[in-house]
Amino acid sequence: MATGGTRGMRLLGGRIPYIDGPLKVTGQAEYTDDIRRPGMLVGRLLRSPWAHARIVSVDTSAARALPGVAAVLTGEKYPTPFGVLPITRDETAIAVGKTRYIGDIVAAVAAVDERTAERALELVRVDVEPLPEYTDPRMGVEKVAEPIHARGLLGTNIQKEVVQHFGDVDVAFARATHRVRVHGRFAGVTHAFTEPLVTIAEATADGRLTVYSATQVPHYLHRALSEVLGIPMHRIRVIKPEVGGGFGGKSDPLPHEIVCAALSIETGRPVKMLLDREDVFYTNHGRHPTDNEVRIATDAEGRILAYDIDALIDGGAWSSFGTVTTYYNGVLAMGPYRIPNFRYRGRRVYTNKPPSGAMRAHGGTNLRYSIEVGLDEIAEATKLDPFDLRTRNALPPNSTTINDFRITSTSFLKCLAAARERSGWDSKFRKLPYGRGVGLGCGFYISGSNSPIHFKPVMPQSTVHLKVDMDGGIAVHSMQADIGQGSNTLLAAIVAEVLGVDLERVHVQRVDSDVSPIDIGSYSSRVTFMMGNAARRAAEDLKAQLLRAASHRTGHPVEQLEVAYERIQVRHRPEVGVTFMEALHAAMERAGALTATGAYSSPPMGGSFKGARAGTAPAYSFGAYVAEVAVDPETGLYRAEKMWAAFDCGRPLNRLAVEGQVEGSIHMALGQVMGESMNYRGARLLNPSLLEYKIPTPAQMPEIEVLLVGDDDPEGPFGAKEAGEGPLIAALPAMGNAIYDAVGVRCYELPITPDRIVRGIEDRRKEGRAWKGA
Amino acid sequence: MPSRAKGGAANGVGPTPSSSLKITVNGLPIDRPCPPERILLDLLREDLELTGTKRGCDLGTCGCCTVLVDGRPTLSCLTLARLVDRRSITTIEGVTPVHGLSALQRAFVEHGATQCGFCTPGFLVTATALLQERPSPTRAEIIDAISGNLCRCTGYTKIIEAIEAAAREGR
């Protein structure tokens, strides 16, 4: 049962159990791998064991001759490059000309069963000439003998360079009283969603192609399929079944999706391409390994005067979202504090490794860690409490940042106050015994990218269609992608709230490009804000139709009518009115089934300089987290005991879901802090399994107190902002700063492994610098 | 990548002799030929079309494929079907009542213990076995019981709360 909403609302603001919960707890929810089509073939991929090599020849004759093999594909057949960003299309479905990382796809097979497909792959003969390998981005910033891509900047492997300067950073540093420099080093991490990547494609005799895929962004997949396969979009149907988690890892159109479709076209039969876990690790698109240098200047009172930031970002073999990543690693420094002077150089460099891409809190995480650790150092140097330092620098509401970000609502000060009070900070900070500590970290994130990636043709970022027929069920169509975050539930709840009907009347339809109007999908923390506004408008449209009909029936003008539970009634005479069904049937007399549309486009914003749109969003989320840790100084082993997570998502529309996002974000953040790391020896990924790439288990999770303190956002639906990605960010620096409070060791490198803590403790002892008396 | 052929496709190249497998699945007796290399997960998902049990890693690392063998949580992706001959298998479909939901399933729904839902069947059968064995588990016992199941969405918080709530209801 949903519990009541807030501020006069029946549902929104309360705790609304996910509408797909019953299907998920019974195993009845249908994921792509659960679907079977008649005569379905098995697709398999041959991956490159070479990091960088010119392909001399690929001999597929023996594989083709194997009984049971229906098709063998190599790169030449579909060489059209694609990529999630139209400006950096540099991937091909299957390698053309050369392989760029261990795991690159060099051939694909469709066969009658798994074993035949695997055997066929063994029969493919690939002849290559090795090329120089570039596995460290530092190797790629100068001119190289064999650039990984021809499009690298001036013969280097630099995929994107961003240089920005606002104000005068050198002058600010010259007059500063305090300066810190943090050199942060961050291993790559990956999404580790539980459902492996999987696609089914079915080319049929009517010249159409149907693709079921585990994707966060059905629309971008739809476009990429059309471009690479040369089939008009209207002849391709993309269906998104239930998706078992994404976190950014299912947001690019991925090569296996296109290869699967190509194999179906080749064979005329349905093909399933299920990637095994190892394949998923090689597909990656996870958080970029990054080196950043963050310099912060403040005055004697701890007011921030300037940031000077340099980031070197390891892109791996493809561009993916990399241009956005390169901007975000600088511009997402623009909150939650006022920054009067700002300089940034970011370089994303291709390497011969699995591609990096977008992962939850994309571009904002590693940067934020270095900034917040640096601010902790400033607080210590200025003898300010870390909370006071941040309070003093908070970005005010309704302001503009120096790079022209429009800030509307912010409840950052309320986040700080709530985290400070609930955590008992003032009685703990620097006061807990040696080995225990508390740390503060803060966060800031976009609530939906203002710029859709594909802006041609001009269209809203989200559209929602409603249809209601005489049965009184409301069908909701939209291409928004529920990947577990509960967007279907929110969509249904918004419609039910506006119309006053029971939630059970609302049926959110599976994403199907034949019937779902376009929403650009689950990335950049955009769905609640954009889809929510579109859904509200669609429901308001439908409500207006019902009110007009009720007005005819009751003889009272529309202005006097209001919606109540399953009813439309006269505002001050609630006994006079009609039921929802009566109003519906009255409205249908002339028009038949009712339909309504709502759409959302973000308002124009951002400056006019190059790259000005990067990081602009119709709203921003804010957070302040306190972590309490216990560190064993002998072994360096530590655990998070408790996390107080104060977050400003505007008004939380479904508290159950927002809490779930915060708790899940903390899990993912703790993974990156406590041990997740894509480990390489040269170009070879050493840990492509969940056994060796360890995500936190239930035993490693702290107690979490979620504090939702946001005020209503003026433009968000019912006052809401994002809660999908921003809640991750503050948890990482809170941990780093808590470890410092516990044992006096600064950690500039993630993951924070116990040996690094022990080494830091030993260094302190050698230098005679006691900490908390130890 | 070094290819890792998964156990036993139904009509694989070079058929292997099939022996007869007699098991009970969700209370129904099954008697069918089964190649010796057939993995229990494949038998359930591919042959018996019980797709509620999920394939997450094929390496016994994620717990998504957990089923009960004679009531004990077992990783079906690491279990040869012939090793469960004459034993009783319970999948997520088997812990689901004919009408409605079990108390544990209801608690998972009400507490928001499912997000993407892909790990949920594994957690549910594991927790069902726990509550059968220990109707009033401590929090530590719950954490211990589900420590072989990974969830990437929830941070486990609401899963633990749901199991606690179902245990309270059962008392």
Cβ-defined contact of A21 to B119 (cutoff 8 Å): no
Query: If you search the block for the tokens 């070094």, which residue do you land on?
Result: B2
Q: Is the pLDDT of residue A323 over 50?
A: yes
Contact criterion met (CB below 8 Å) for A536 and A498 = yes
Cβ neighbour number for residue A100 with a 10 Å cutoff: 29
Which letter does DSSP use for residue A694 in this model?
P
pLDDT of A1 reads 63
Q: Confidence class of residue B2 from pLDDT cuts 50, 70 and 90?
A: very low
Averaged pLDDT, A505-527? 97
Q: Quick one: tokens of A603?
A: 């308002």
Q: Do B52 and A26 touch (CB under 8 A)?
A: yes
Extract the tokens encoding A727. Answer: 């809640």
Number of C-alpha atoms within 13 angstroms, CB side, residue A501?
A: 26
Query: By percentage, how much of chain A surpasses pLDDT 70?
Result: 100
| Interchain pair A484, B115: CB under 8 A | yes
Q: How far apart are CA A23 and CA A404, in angstroms?
A: 46
pLDDT-derived band at B29 (thresholds 50, 70, 90) equals very high
Residues from chain A contacting residue B96 (CB–CB below 8 Å): 26-27
Query: What residues have CB less than 8 Å from A165, skipping those under 6 apart?
Result: A342, A343, A344
Average pLDDT score over residue span B89-117:
98
Q: What is the pLDDT of residues A407-442, one digit of tens each?
A: 999 999 999 999 999 999 999 999 999 999 999 999
Instruction: List pLDDT tens digits, range A329-374.
Output: 999 999 999 999 999 999 999 999 999 999 999 999 999 999 999 9
Instruction: Tell me the two tokens of residue A130.
Output: 């090795």
Cα-only R_g, chain A: 27
Residue of A18, A20, A24 for testing the chain B interface, max B β-carbons within 10 Å: A24
Q: Check the CA dihedral A139-A140-A143-A146 and report its sign.
A: positive
What pLDDT does A503 receive?
Answer: 97
Report, as an integer, the average pLDDT of A192-207. 98
Nearest CB to A194; choose among B56, B112, B160:
B56
**Is A21 in contact with B114 (Cβ distance < 8 A)?**
yes
Tokens of B107: 């608690």
| Distance (Å) of CA B55 to CA A194, A242, B67, B85 | 9, 14, 12, 22
The per-residue pLDDT for A151 is 79
Confidence (pLDDT) at A591 = 86
B107/chain A closest Cα distance in angstroms: 10
Which chain A positions have a beta carbon within 8 Å of B118's beta carbon? 31, 193-195, 242, 244-245, 484
Render the burial of A220-256: b for 16+ CB within 10 Å, e for the rest. Answer: bbbbbbbbbbebeeeebbbbbbbbbbbbbbbbbbbbb
SS3 sequence, A531-548?
A: HHHHHHHHHHHHHHHHHH
Q: CB A194 to CB B51 under 8 A?
A: no
Name the percent of chain B lying above pLDDT 90. Answer: 87
Among chain B residues, the shortest Cα distance to A243 is held by B116
Residue A182 predicted with pLDDT over 90: yes
Across the interface, whether the CB atoms of B9 and A243 are under 8 A apart is answered no
Q: Does A303 touch chain B (CB under 8 A)?
A: no
User: A113 at the B interface (CB within 8 A)?
Assistant: yes
Contact A26 B160 (CB under 8 A): no
Say if A79 is an interface residue toward chain B (CB within 8 Å). no
User: Is B155–A664 a contact, with Cβ atoms under 8 angstroms apart?
Assistant: yes
SS3 content of chain A, % helix, strand, coil (to 5): 30, 25, 40
Whether B114 sits inside 8 A of A25 (CB atoms) is yes
* A245 with B116: Cβ contact below 8 A: yes
Q: Which residue of A has its CA nearest to B162?
A: A25
pTM of the full structure: 0.97
Neighboring chain B residues of A121 at a CB cutoff of 8 Å: 3
Q: A–B: how many Cβ contacts below 8 A? A: 203
* Nearest beta carbon to residue B6 from set A114, A485, A657: A114
Digit-coded pLDDT (tens) for A156-166: 999 999 999 99
B54: amino acid identity, one letter: K
Any CB–CB contact under 8 A between A705 and chain B? no
Q: How far is A756 from chain B (nearest CA, A)?
A: 26
The overall average pLDDT reported for chain A is 97
Task: Compute the half-sphere exposure of residue B142: CA atoms within 13 Å on the CB side of its CA.
Answer: 23
pLDDT tens per residue, range A537-552: 999 999 999 999 999 9
User: How confident is the model at residue A96, as a pLDDT?
Assistant: 97
Chain B contacts in chain A segment 89-108 (CB below 8 A): 103
Q: Which residues of B touch A195 (CB under 8 A)?
A: 54, 56, 116, 118
Which residues of chain B are within 8 Å of residue A278 when distances are taken between CB atoms? Answer: 1, 4
**Cβ within 8 Å of B, A 258-287:** 274, 276-279, 282
A278–B4 C-beta distance less than 8 A: yes
pLDDT at position B8 over 60:
no
| pLDDT value at residue A454 | 77
- A690 at interface of B, judged by CB pairs closer than 8 A: yes
pLDDT score at A453: 82
CB contact under 8 A, A25 and B101: yes
User: Cα dihedral sign for A561, A563, A564, A567?
Assistant: positive
Q: Which residues in A125-284 belong to E strands, given as ranges?
A: 125-130, 158-166, 178-186, 198-203, 209-213, 236-240, 271-274
Residue of A nearest to B118 (CA): A244
Residues of A in contact with B56 (CB under 8 A): 194-196, 277, 690
Helical pair B157-170 and B103-110, crossing angle rounded to 10 deg: 140
Does residue A291 sit at the B interface (CB-CB below 8 Å)?
no
**What type of residue is A535?**
A
Q: Which residue of B has its CA nearest to A658?
A: B112
Counting every residue, how long is chain A?
774
Contact B101 A22 (CB under 8 A): yes
> Could you give the CA distance from residue B74 to residue B69 in angstroms, rounded to a whole number?
6
Q: What is the rounded CA–CA span in Å between residue A45 and residue A273?
A: 9
Do the Cβ atoms of A704 and B52 come within 8 Å?
no
In a 10 Å sphere around its CB, with 0-12 CB exposed, 13-18 middle and 19+ buried, how is residue A570 labelled? Answer: middle
Contacts of A605 (CB under 8 A, 6+ apart): A404, A405, A406, A450, A616, A618
Q: Do B147 and A699 touch (CB under 8 A)?
A: yes
Q: Best of A194, A242, A653 to disrupt the B interface by mutation (most B CBs within 10 Å)?
A: A194
- Mean pLDDT value of segment A95-100: 97
- Is A26 close to B93, i.e. CB distance below 8 A? yes
pLDDT of B10 strictly over 70:
no
Q: Reply yes or no on whether the pLDDT at A318 is more than 80.
A: yes
Task: Please report the pLDDT score of residue A316 as a whole number.
Answer: 98
Instruction: Render pLDDT for A266-308 as a digit per residue (tens, 0 to 9).
Output: 999 999 999 999 999 999 999 999 999 999 999 999 999 999 9
Q: Is the pLDDT of residue B9 over 80?
A: no
Q: Do B96 and A664 touch (CB under 8 A)?
A: no
Is the bond preceding A196 in cis, omega lying within 30 degrees of 0?
no
Cα A408 to chain centroid distance, Å, stands at: 22
Q: What is the pLDDT of residues A241-251, one digit of tens each?
A: 999 999 999 99
CA B102 vs CA A57, A552, B132: distances in Å: 58, 47, 13
The pLDDT assigned to B16 comes to 58
Poorest-confidence range of A395-399, A456-460, A759-763? A456-460
Residues with Cβ within 8 Å of residue A376, at least 6 apart in sequence: A386, A439, A440, A733, A737, A740
pLDDT (average), residues A211-234? 98
Q: What is the mean pLDDT of residues B76-88?
A: 97
Return the H-helix or E-strand segment holding A761: helix A754-766
B151: chain A residues, CB-CB within 8 Å: 194, 667
